[in-house]
Amino acid sequence: MAAATEGYSPTIALDGARKQRGNLTQARIRWMILGVVIGFMLVGGRLVQLGMVETDQTIEGQARDVITATRPPILDRNGLEMAVDIRVPSLYAEPRRIIDVEEAVQKLRTVLPDLSETWLRNRLTGDKGFVWVQRELTPAIQDQVMRLGIPGIDFITESKRFYPAMNEAAHILGSTNVDNQGIAGIERHMDTESVALLQELGLARGNALTPVELSVDMRVQHVLHDQLVDAMTRYQAVAAAGVMMDIYTGEIVALASVPDFNPNEPASALVKDTFNRITSGIFEPGSIFKTVTIAGALDSGAVRATDQFDARYGIRFGRYTIDDFHGKHRIMSLSEIYKYSSNIGTIRIMQAMGKDNFRDFLGRMKFDQRVEFELPEMRVPTVPKTLSEVGAATASFGHGLSVSPLHMVTAYGALVNGGNYIAPTLYKRSVAEAEPLYERVVTPQTSEVMRYLMRLNALEGSGSQMNRAALGYRAGGKTGTAEKVVDGRYSSSKVTNFFASAFPLDNPRYAIVIMVDEPKAENPQSGTTAGWNAGHLTGRLIQRVAPMLGVAPDFSEALDRQIVPPALR
Amino acid sequence: MIRNINIFLIFASIVMLAGVYALKFSIEGTAAERTALTATISEQEGKLSLLKADWAVLNQPGYIDPIVRRHEAELEIAAVRQEQFGSFAALPMRPAKPDSAAMDALFEAIAMGIDPIDAILELEGIE
């Protein structure tokens, strides 16, 4: 047993020093690896955690691009700014960083007393990262607020649209909302075209956008607006509007309608009656439509410029008789019918042409559809699809159908420019660019007779008031006094007056339509018919704008004789 | 040998470390400068946009017209009338023959030492 025990003496296993050290090193390496792995796992875990967190980018991220999104400046045809972007400070708050809401509210209200106290308190309480307090302030207010030194309140610079011409071109420009998006007028049109896309892509930043050039001449626009505002007081009218077009290019040189609004305060556009009467107002045009009827009849060949018409008696339709306002009641030539604005004569001319041909001609002149134009504010004209005998008779002198003044100026443009219909535009367009768009509506010969008739009316007819003011500028046109429908009847005291004209008629360049709504007599010696207000206004307008447009006055009578077509000499 | 190399390497790394830090700080400085400049530029662009808007307002016919009206009486100005326009075609033709007698008289006077311009200058009070 002992031997056995002896034989089995416990073995003392001693590791060599080298081996011992090796084991220790291995253990250390393992610990190190573990440490490193844990370290990497920590870093990795943190990375994953960071990746999961949604950072609050509402202000520093994309939002900044949107609020500083700029719009291209709008220039008139001479390069004068009509709309520019300005950078204005906007006040925002970070409620989670505000320490004392009550103090912040009291302090802010010392600078911005318009803010409601409860609204502001609710706005600043909470754990939100960003809230607007008030947008588009002035640099002076920014200074004052900064001096208050409230933590969690700061400013950011925003782009804001500014219209230096104030009210003057309001209906052309329209306006933009607080986010710099167009909500009316040409601004809206620009958005539908391209600007919105640019802003979305984030390209519309800084002032790098190419300016948009309009066809409008601000000098002419100013004179027109000035005259219209003047007409409101001079004739105590409820409204006045005017439009002027280059007849060869279709460019709108001026377009205004009062009452209007200030595009810098878009809310002022919501006031009643500030709509654009040129494009979105439709009216019975009255006698200015006779020009269209006569042109159509001449062009159809059914009537010649030398023809005579029986205007001795009123024309009966059942119970109604249509008679003349300035009744002559005799046999009249075509030019006399135009000069005396004879309803009877115009009906006879229309009847010679035939009512269906007349309706076709209205379609050819595009009176039954919207005018192709940039402004989104448009109304569809009301022109009957087929005309009855009575309907055609009243339509021939501009009653029983409603069109916009823009229709009329385009039609007049086509009738005097040699017979080519050209859709109006607010963008710059050269004659070469416009020519492919021409649509022939009447022959050059008809156009020649129309020029003569319009000039004749200025020299001898209802346009003489206009001619007296615009002497030397060879202007001519037609008056139209349309009675308003009051309680289902035509009222003789409430009228809408028009004057449609063109100048200089020896070589016409511009067509104008002026409208004065419900005018009263300027003085006891004057009347309320169109020649006294819309006509005279046109004369004053031409007198002031013709030199700006490079039309020199010429008093020689040879020019007027030249306008007379050979057949009538 | 190795010891020397090590010492050299240690010094080299210290120098490079210092260099890298210097570079880092200078870059940070430049970046800060750039940020400041960007801020200044954007602020100045904002001011410029306001100035441009001001200028556009001052240039508007609608702004100038009332000023002109206010000073109409004082400056004796009025809107141009049609009769005031002229053209080269409206100018009278040059007389067919020059007025030789008057020219002779003028040249003789100058030759005698009397310059008619002197009389005008004297009248105007110009020496």
Residues A323, A304: Cα–Cα separation, whole Å? 23
Reading the block at residue B80, the tokens are: 């141009």
Are B60 and A162 within 8 A, CB to CB? no
B125 touches chain A (CB under 8 A): no
pLDDT at A205 over 80: no
Closest chain B residue by Cα to residue A82: B56
What confidence tens digit (pLDDT) does each residue in A508-543 have?
999 999 999 999 888 888 888 888 899 999 999 999
pLDDT > 90: percent of chain A: 40
Quick check: helix, strand or coil at residue A356? helix
pLDDT at B50 over 90: no
Closest chain A residue by Cα to residue B65: A222
- pLDDT (0 to 100) of residue A327: 73
- pLDDT (0 to 100) of residue A561: 85
Are B79 and A544 within 8 A, CB to CB? yes
Are B46 and A87 within 8 A, CB to CB? yes
B50 touches chain A (CB under 8 A): yes
> Which amino acid type is present at position A133?
V
B59 touches chain A (CB under 8 A): yes
**Averaged pLDDT for residues A471-477:** 90
A-B interface: how many C-beta pairs under 8 angstroms?
Answer: 66
- pTM of this prediction? 0.79
Mutate which of B48, B49, B57 to test chain A, going by most A C-beta atoms within 10 A?
B49
Residues A174, A185: Cα–Cα separation, whole Å? 4
Residues A76, B62: Cα–Cα separation, whole Å? 14
B79 touches chain A (CB under 8 A): yes
Are A449 and A275 a contacting pair, CB within 8 Å? no
Residues A351, A319: Cα–Cα separation, whole Å? 19
pLDDT > 70: percent of chain B: 98
**Averaged pLDDT for residues A38-62:** 78
**Can the peptide bond before residue A259 be classed as cis, meaning omega within 30 degrees of 0?**
yes
CB contact set of B60 (below 8 Å; sequence gap of 6+): A80, A164, A165, A166, A168, A218, A222
Q: How confident is the model at residue A65 (pLDDT cuts 50, 70, 90)?
A: low
- pLDDT (0 to 100) of residue A61: 42
Size of chain A in residues: 569
Quote the minimal CA–CA distance from B82 to chain A in Å: 6
- pLDDT (0 to 100) of residue A55: 62
Residues A483, A284: Cα–Cα separation, whole Å? 8
* Highest mean pLDDT, choosing among A192-201, A266-275, A425-434: A425-434
H or E segment and range at residue A315: strand A315-317
Query: Which residues of chain B have a CB within 8 Å of the CB of A80?
Result: 56, 59-60
Reading the block at residue A1, the tokens are: 């047993």
- pLDDT (0 to 100) of residue B31: 94
Mutate which of A160, A167, A222, A555 to test chain B, going by most B C-beta atoms within 10 A?
A222
- pLDDT (0 to 100) of residue A3: 46
**Averaged pLDDT for residues A78-96:** 88
- pLDDT (0 to 100) of residue A30: 92
B41 touches chain A (CB under 8 A): no
pLDDT at B14 over 90: yes
Query: Which residues of chain A have a CB within 8 Å of the CB of B80?
Result: 547
- pLDDT (0 to 100) of residue A1: 44
Mutate which of B82, B87, B88 to test chain A, going by most A C-beta atoms within 10 A?
B82
**Averaged pLDDT for residues A171-190:** 86
- pLDDT (0 to 100) of residue A130: 85
Q: How confident is the model at residue A69 (pLDDT cuts 50, 70, 90)?
A: low
pLDDT at A197 over 80: no
Q: How confident is the model at residue A62 (pLDDT cuts 50, 70, 90)?
A: very low
Q: How confident is the model at residue A159 (pLDDT cuts 50, 70, 90)?
A: confident
Largest distance between two CA atoms of chain B: 119
- pLDDT (0 to 100) of residue A2: 46
What confidence tens digit (pLDDT) does each residue in A314-368 have?
888 888 888 887 777 888 999 999 988 889 999 999 999 999 999 999 999 999 8
Quote the minimal CA–CA distance from B48 to chain A in Å: 9
Quote the minimal CA–CA distance from A52 to chain B in Å: 30
What confidence tens digit (pLDDT) does each residue in A374-429 have?
888 888 899 989 888 889 999 999 988 999 999 999 999 999 999 999 999 999 99
Mean pLDDT over the full length of chain B: 88
Query: Which of A81, A472, A553 is opposite residue B56, by nearest beta carbon?
Result: A81
Closest chain B residue by Cα to residue A470: B82
- pLDDT (0 to 100) of residue A423: 93
- pLDDT (0 to 100) of residue B102: 86
Are A552 and B87 within 8 A, CB to CB? yes
Residue for token digits 């210092």? B18
> Which amino acid type is present at position A562?
Q
- pLDDT (0 to 100) of residue A243: 95
Q: Of A212-216, A263-267, A309-313, B88-92, which range is least confident?
A: B88-92
| Numbered residues of chain A with Cβ closer than 8 Å to any chain B Cβ | 80-81, 84-88, 139, 157, 162, 164-166, 168, 206-207, 218-219, 221-223, 225-226, 471-473, 543-544, 547, 552-553, 555
Q: Of A57-66, A390-399, A487-496, which range is least confident?
A: A57-66
Residues A205, A217: Cα–Cα separation, whole Å? 28
Phi, then psi, of A443 in degrees rounded to 5: -80, 160
Residues A506, A509: Cα–Cα separation, whole Å? 9
Instruction: Name which of A129, A126, A120 is nearest A59 in CA terms.
Output: A129
ipTM: 0.73
Are A207 and B45 within 8 A, CB to CB? yes
What confidence tens digit (pLDDT) does each residue in B55-93 have?
999 999 999 999 999 999 999 888 888 888 887 877 888
Mutate which of A162, A218, A471, A556 to test chain B, going by most B C-beta atoms within 10 A?
A162
Quote the minimal CA–CA distance from B5 to chain A in Å: 28
B87 touches chain A (CB under 8 A): yes
Q: Of A67-71, A120-124, A520-524, which range is least confident?
A: A67-71
pLDDT at A280 over 60: yes
> Measured between alpha carbons, how far is residue A194 from residues A43, A181, A209 in Å?
47, 12, 12
Mean pLDDT over the full length of chain A: 86
* Highest mean pLDDT, choosing among A47-56, A135-144, A218-227: A218-227
> Which amino acid type is present at position A513?
V
pLDDT at A4 over 50: no
B49 touches chain A (CB under 8 A): yes
How many CA atoms are closer than 13 Å to the CA of A161, on its beta-carbon side? Answer: 28
Are A472 and B82 within 8 A, CB to CB? yes
Q: How confident is the model at residue A567 (pLDDT cuts 50, 70, 90)?
A: confident
Quote the minimal CA–CA distance from B124 to chain A in Å: 37
Query: Which of A87, A88, A473 is opposite residue B45, by nearest beta carbon?
Result: A87
- pLDDT (0 to 100) of residue A60: 44
* Highest mean pLDDT, choosing among A58-67, A263-272, B28-37: B28-37
Q: Of A85-89, A423-427, B13-17, B21-25, which range is least confident?
A: A85-89
Helix A290-300 with A343-353: angle, nearest 10 deg: 30
- pLDDT (0 to 100) of residue A204: 54
What confidence tens digit (pLDDT) does each residue in A415-467 have?
999 999 999 999 999 999 999 999 999 999 999 999 999 999 999 888 888 88
Closest chain A residue by Cα to residue B47: A87
Query: Which residues of chain A have a CB within 8 Å of the CB of B49?
Result: 84-87, 207
